[in-house]
Amino acid sequence: MPRPPLARFGPAELARVVVVCAVLAWGLTAAGLRWALIEALRRATRRLPGPANGRTPVASGHAPVSTGWEAALADGAVVAFGRLGPTFVKLGQLMASSPGMFPGELSTAALRCLDNMPPFPAEQARRVVAEDLGRPVHELFTEFDDVPLSAASIAQVHACVLPDGRPAVVKLRRPGIERRMITDLRIMYLLARVLDQRVELVRLASLVGIVVQLHEVTCKELNFALEASNQERFAASVAAFGDNAGVTVPRVYWPWCAPRVICMQRLYGCPLDNPEELAARGLDGELPLRRGVKAWLEAAILHGPFHGDAHAGNLWITEDGRLAYLDFGIMGELAPSWRELLRDMLYTAMFDRDFERVARGLRRCGVLDSGVGTDAQLGWVLGALFGPLLDAPISRLNSRKITDMLLATARQYSGSAPPELTLFTKQLLYFERYSAALAPDWVLGTDPFVLKNIFPVEAAERAAALGLAMPD
């Protein structure tokens, strides 16, 4: 599937620029005025005389709380993203899940972009199925629920039942989404290139590279055949060693798949970040989380394709206690040198703290220039920066701080921030959030279970030395 070029700008893009500028201006202006009004009311309230008894009057409802004009403008920008549609929602998701790359207020406000999008009508959903599969919905499925289970920026999911009685779901691409998203990406690319030549902060943040990455991710997400294939490849990596029965991936039902339709096994469970519901169902979250991280690391280091969008909506605990990975629109696949670097990092963290090995791996990947320092010097720097973090529970790590240090180190020695590093640390941020609620005392860097198949001899020796029993 050829990718539409980014460096193209025509009448459609020009017309869209007018709309984008108007909506962003409206969002920022409305947010700024709202903040100014709240500030004025707050100051006026402070000047009001108190009651005779000296107590401060309490108004009914919630008093306005000032959060600063930066946060207000960030909120206005995110509101505008929602109105501008899926491409800008994707940009918001990138801001929310890429710590250190954007101002803190903007990343925090953009967390709302991870929520569901409004669904498209059932009539359109049925039309997509009929057009792509060649028959109407009632001939393809014995049941089809017009109310979607979920709706995201690119697609939405409907429950259905196959003719043989198997419960399934169909994921449907939003009608007409391709042209709108490519147009928006071309506008972002042009703007990023202009700013890159004039604003130092934009150049350091690699904004052009971010848009290129977003373009690549979007084109992959729009390719449902690729997504279904990635889903099967990841499932195969999970099953490779025969000891990941506690992790599952929905089975793809190929006879009901098409360019805009993926049909797959329906799983029942609860998102990983909902500890209250998990407790109500009697489900434990810590062991499934450890199992899920183990399978994810094995996929990244030993097999190739790994899940690159592990937010809570894509990780569930099923009713029988398994960890389920869902939605394979965003996948990462590392080059052999990067896989070797990850092996070096994990071995260093778990077994010997030899950061010179990590320095050599960073040189192999081109992150560190060959003429900067010795391996011993850089190893000492890396050990001083990251060594103290490795014994802390993952729930107590500050992923934003860690990523800031990683990016600063990369820029200091090579002048760029590698996209592989961004994708990997993005998942670290997600796992940190889950661990805070489900496994607050879990220390990823000292858990030999997660490296059981990557370093089998060393992990077994480490578990024996610690007196730990490996889970099933």
Q: Convert the pLDDT of each residue in 204-241 to its tens digit.
A: 556 777 788 778 778 888 889 999 999 999 999 999 99
pLDDT in the model for residue 56: 43
Place of tokens 């030999």: 448
Instruction: Choose between 266 and 211: higher pLDDT.
Output: 266
Angle at 338 between CA 360 and CA 244, to 5 degrees: 125
Whole-angstrom distance, CA of residue 65 vs CA of residue 83: 25
Residue at 235: amino acid letter: A
Given a cut of 60, is residue 338 above it in pLDDT? yes
Given a cut of 50, is residue 415 above it in pLDDT? no
Alpha helices in 48-154 (DSSP H): 69-84, 86-97, 104-109, 122-133, 137-140
Q: How confident is the model at residue 44 (pLDDT cuts 50, 70, 90)?
A: confident
Instruction: Choose between 273 and 351: higher pLDDT.
Output: 351
Quick one: tokens of 358?
Answer: 């990590």
Residue at 140: amino acid letter: L
Whole-angstrom distance, CA of residue 49 vs CA of residue 55: 10
pLDDT in the model for residue 350: 84
Q: Kindly state the DSSP code that residue 140 receives in the 8-state scheme.
A: H
Whole-angstrom distance, CA of residue 10 vs CA of residue 75: 31
Give me the DSSP letters along 205-238. TTHHHHHHHHHHHHHHHH-HHHHHHHHHHHHHHH
Instruction: Choose between 261 and 40: higher pLDDT.
Output: 261
Q: What is the pLDDT of residues 128-165, one digit of tens each?
A: 999 999 999 999 999 999 999 988 878 999 999 999 99
Q: How confident is the model at residue 276 (pLDDT cuts 50, 70, 90)?
A: confident
Given a cut of 70, is residue 54 above it in pLDDT? no
Buried-state track 28-46, b at ≥16 Cβ within 10 A, e below 16 = beebeeebeebeeeeeeee
Instruction: Choose between 383 and 458: higher pLDDT.
Output: 458
Mean pLDDT of the chain: 81
Q: How confident is the model at residue 62 (pLDDT cuts 50, 70, 90)?
A: very low
pLDDT in the model for residue 59: 39
Place of tokens 């009632």: 138
- Give the other-Cβ count within 10 Å of 316's Cβ: 22
pTM value?
0.77
Q: What is the pLDDT of residues 84-141, one digit of tens each?
A: 877 788 778 777 765 556 677 887 788 777 665 778 999 999 999 999 999 999 999 9
pLDDT in the model for residue 115: 60
Give the highest mean pLDDT range of 7-21, 24-38, 147-161, 388-402: 147-161
**Residues 75, 309, 327, 344: which is the catalytic one?**
309
327 is catalytic: no
pLDDT in the model for residue 430: 79
Q: Largest Cα–Cα distance of the chain, in whole Å? A: 78
pLDDT in the model for residue 64: 38
Instruction: Choose between 209 and 304: higher pLDDT.
Output: 304
pLDDT in the model for residue 360: 85
Percent of the chain whose predicted confidence (pLDDT) is above 90:
29
- For residue 317, list its beta bridge partners: 270, 323
Q: What is the mean pLDDT of residues 277-301?
A: 89
Specify burial of residue 125 (Cβ count, 10 A radius: 0-12, 13-18, 19+). buried
Given a cut of 80, is residue 179 above it in pLDDT? yes
Q: Which residues contact 390 (CB under 8 A, 6 or more apart)?
A: 349, 353, 445, 446
- Beta-strand relationship, 323-325 and 247-248: parallel
Whole-angstrom distance, CA of residue 90 vs CA of residue 21: 18
Given a cut of 90, is residue 197 above it in pLDDT? no
